[in-house]
Amino acid sequence: MSTWSPSSWRAKPAKHIPDDYPIPSQLAEVEATLSGYPPLVFAGEVRRLKQRLGDVAMGKAFLMQGGDCAESFREFHPDNLRDMFRVMMQMAVVLTYGGGKPVIKVGRIAGQFAKPRSSATETIDGITLPSYRGDNINGMAFTEASRMPDPERLLKAYGQAASTLNLLRAFSTGGYANLNNIHKWTLGYVKDSPQSQRYSDLCDKISDAMDFMQACGVTPESTPQMAATEYYTSHEGLLLGYEQAMTRIDSTSGRWYDTSAHMLWIGNRTRDLDGAHIEFCKGVENPIAVKIGPELGADELLKLIDALNPKNEAGRITLISRYGHEQVAKELPALARAVKRSGRHVVWSCDPMHGNTLKTSSGYKTRPFDMILSEVKNFMRVLHSEGCWPGGVHFEMTGQNVTECIGGARELREEDLSSRYHTHCDPRLNADQALELAFLIAEELRVNRSDEHAVAV
Ligand code: PEP
Ligand code: CO
């Protein structure tokens, strides 16, 4: 640790960070410019999220993390942000009511641009070009110019993240998130779906309870938690030049915080113990999540946890399991047992998206709703039977009416995918599917709960 600095990662092997900027000095200039820009989040907020995640680690709260696979410049629109916020609020209501615990809301938002890619190049009709790597690096269009990394994109991504956060702060504290508005969060196109009726029935129950509480003097005016909500941001800490530029010393604590987001995660492909991504995350105080997937042994997992959390602070580490619906039941028990036996505090969260991706015969990447649900259920059952708290979920989702994942109550079929397939990277749940999943998870939470406060939703 004594040799750590925001740039010490540069001496380590760095996977998935582009090194083919045409003029490297231009990238350095942009990073220097960014390091003089205002922080996007504040250390006090980051500390509060860590406290909340500490509650999750102790089984007293539930984490709900979700958003786009990749944010894009093209889909940047206040309506899209509002719709994502709405559906996350609805899901949180369902999970809070069903699980009987506070739900900590963390978006994959305001900085989720850079993507690790399985291949460095893409070939179409005999032409090979560098792969698309996220809007803060290069462009999606299949032309040589567009696929060239461009440092100016980092400044545009920072600007988009800043205005996204500004709007999210307004939504969460400016009145929109007031619990009296729960009926209003339903999106237009979800209105005629079975989820909508179920959600509306739940809102009626909550409204009745609130009328009663308000008659007793507990009102949004007297109880700020009813008038506003806490909403946190996160993204994959992949592009370390950007993360370094956003890392500042907090004047209150004298410690380093990455001010690009409240929480960062390290991807399944970049979590090498001796690699650049672990090195960078070691030295910042933010809560860190690590994606864990097939073939990670218990010994290596414990070493990863110790590297990132030597003081065993609850809330510092979230393990996001992403095995696929079948593999999770085979691989997770040994890991859960080893972590529990060692006394290390972690949040266990489930990403049921990245291990369940298929390609259809017509070439679309998709994810079947049933597999997504089955992975969450298997994850929860494994952890319960190991005596651990299945503390959270991690989704790729959108508030838009896209057709990217198949299945769900509306039985989206392979043939439907082409009608509204808009993702810049992986297939996302649409709002309807996301809400349906929240109801199904709420049921699972209720089934698995051992205390007497479980409620049917
Ligand atoms: C992601 O979350 O978008 C991602 C690339 O996941 P993973 O690292 O789990 O593959
Ligand atoms: Co993805």
- Which domains does the chain show, CATH number per domain? 8-177+228-456 (3.20.20.70)
Among the bound ligands, name the one nearest to the CA of residue 115: 1
Atom 9, ligand 1: residue with shortest CA distance: 268
pLDDT digits (tens, 9 = 90+) for 31-83: 999 999 999 999 999 999 999 999 999 999 999 999 999 999 999 999 999 99
Q: Could you give the CA distance from residue 178 to residue 340 in angstroms, rounded to a whole number?
A: 38
Q: Are 320 and 352 in contact (CB under 8 A)?
A: no
pLDDT digits (tens, 9 = 90+) for 311-365: 999 999 999 999 999 999 999 999 999 999 999 999 999 999 999 999 999 999 9
Instruction: Please give the pLDDT value at position 184.
Output: 87
Asked if the model's pLDDT at residue 189 lies above 90, the reply is: no
Q: What is the percent of the chain where pLDDT is above 90?
A: 88
* CA 426 / ligand 2 centre spacing (Å): 5
CA torsion through residues 343, 349, 350, 354, sign: negative
Helix H segments across 290-368? 298-308, 327-342
CA torsion through residues 133, 307, 325, 105, sign: negative
Instruction: Please give the pLDDT value at position 187.
Output: 74
* CA 427 / ligand 2 centre spacing (Å): 8
Average model confidence (pLDDT) for the chain? Answer: 94
Asked if the model's pLDDT at residue 112 lies above 70, the reply is: yes
Among the bound ligands, name the one nearest to the CA of residue 355: 1
Asked if the model's pLDDT at residue 398 lies above 70, the reply is: yes
pLDDT digits (tens, 9 = 90+) for 405-451: 999 988 999 999 999 999 989 999 999 999 999 999 999 988 776 54
With H, G, I as helix, E, B as strand and everything else as coil, classify residue 214: helix
For a ligand 1 pocket test, name from 15, 264, 268 the mutation site with the most ligand atoms within 8 angstroms of its C-beta: 268
Q: Is ligand 1 within 6 A of the CB of residue 267?
A: yes
Helix H segments across 35-70? 43-57
Atom 3, ligand 1: residue with shortest CA distance: 69
pTM: 0.96
Question: For residue 343, what is the DSSP state?
Answer: T
* CA 235 / ligand 2 centre spacing (Å): 11
